[in-house]
Amino acid sequence: MAETPTVYVTREIPDAGVEQLREQYDVVVWDEKLPPEKSHVESRLRELDADGLLCMLSDEVDADVLDASPDLSVVSTFSVGYDHVDLEAAAERDIAVGHTPGVLTETTADLAWTLLMACARRTVEAHEYVEAGEWETWGPTLMMGADVHDATLGIVGLGSIGTATARRGAGFGMDVLYTGRQRKPEREAELEELGVEATYVELDELLAESDFVSLHVPLVEETEGLIGEAELQQMSEDAILVNTARGEVVDTDALDTALEEEWIARAGLDVTDPEPLPADHQLMRHAPEKLVVVPHIGSSSVATRSRIAEMAAANVEAGIEGEELPNSALGDAGLE
């Protein structure tokens, strides 16, 4: 290990994390808008003889990356998810891997509700109507949207973010349905204490009965393409779909058809497949009348992103110092 350990950071992150690392280590940051190629990450790790790597969800960290620097002792990802890191290869090389669980729950739930409300009340479409100079008078049928109060909210995946999203339905007097691999009585009890009665149903029933369907499942083999043509056809023609989970959970071509054929009313997406979604992608022809898309900003508040940066930096520090990581992905995966 070099006299002063070196940390390579693959994107600019909030100052709270960078300054925390610079107090002890030499920190090199990729400062371009687009992420570096995997080959560039490998070469920089090798050139720097880096001791730590702070990476993003967009970085592929495989065996080649892990082997680039013989002194690499820790990989810390600026994310909750860690499917972009080869955990088994890291464990074989005795390289610690950290992530940032729990921190973005409430902020992402806020964003799910932002999309839900924007689609329900057609706010993006209405803004563009005003901006285009089309607002000439008040009209009794102008921009009529959907009521949120007293509606039925369907939660697909009642994990921490799904629960936080469901909890917000209390203020609107909503009925809440949820589905997943199994019923979660502990989550039901948590919500019931806050005045939300969450009822477990199968996916088919949730899709048919919900006015709003909000997706909160991880991306695994079972959830890839979970919402496809058959599922979208089961939804009400007045229903709104919200996805703040992962883009691949929804079949993009099927969603395009669903909006075109008016199987559903509208969709709000924080994540897409592909991601980023090109401005000329076929799906964008529905925006903003039937579609609202934002660029994966679920956790993008100043406070939350700063906290993620601090957590990611703390994992780097612990790994370089040979200490147990505050949040170990290897531990979560049972590889420690």
Structure tokens at 318: 């612990």
Structure tokens at 211: 């006015």
Helix (H, G, I), strand (E, B) or coil at 77: strand
Name the residue type at position 171: G
What is the Cα–Cα distance from 246 to 160, expressed in whole angstroms? 15
Q: Is the dihedral of CA 314, 315, 319, 320 positive or negative?
A: negative
CATH 3.40.50.720 boundaries in the chain: 6-101+302-332, 105-293
Q: According to the model, what pLDDT value does residue 333 have?
A: 81
Q: According to the model, what pLDDT value does residue 3 have?
A: 85
What are residue 37's phi and psi, to 5 degrees? -70, 155
Q: According to the model, what pLDDT value does residue 272 have?
A: 98
Q: Which CATH number fits domain 6-101+302-332: 3.90.1300.10, 3.40.50.720, 3.40.50.300, 3.40.50.2020?
A: 3.40.50.720
Q: According to the model, what pLDDT value does residue 1 have?
A: 44
**Active-site entry in 121, 183, 275, 281:** 275
Helix boundaries (H) for the chain? 15-22, 38-48, 63-66, 87-92, 105-121, 123-131, 160-167, 185-192, 203-209, 229-234, 252-260, 302-320, 329-332
Name the residue type at position 280: D
Q: Based on the residue annotation, tell me whether 296 is a catalytic residue of this protein.
A: yes
What is the Cα–Cα distance from 73 to 326, expressed in whole angstroms? 15
- Tens place of pLDDT per residue across the chain (336 aa): 448 999 999 999 999 999 999 999 999 999 999 999 999 999 999 999 999 999 999 999 999 999 999 999 999 999 998 989 999 999 999 999 999 999 999 999 999 999 999 999 999 999 999 999 999 999 999 999 999 999 999 999 999 999 999 999 999 999 999 999 999 999 999 999 999 999 999 999 999 999 999 999 998 899 999 999 999 999 999 999 999 999 999 999 999 999 999 999 999 999 999 999 999 999 999 999 999 999 999 999 999 999 999 999 999 999 999 999 999 999 888 887
**Active-site entry in 99, 246, 286, 305:** 246
Q: Based on the residue annotation, tell me whether 275 is a catalytic residue of this protein.
A: yes
Helix (H, G, I), strand (E, B) or coil at 263: coil
Structure tokens at 152: 């039925």
Any residues with CB less than 8 A from the CB of 91 and at least 6 apart, and which? 330, 335, 336
Q: Which CATH class is domain 105-293?
A: alpha beta
**Active-site entry in 99, 168, 187, 296:** 296
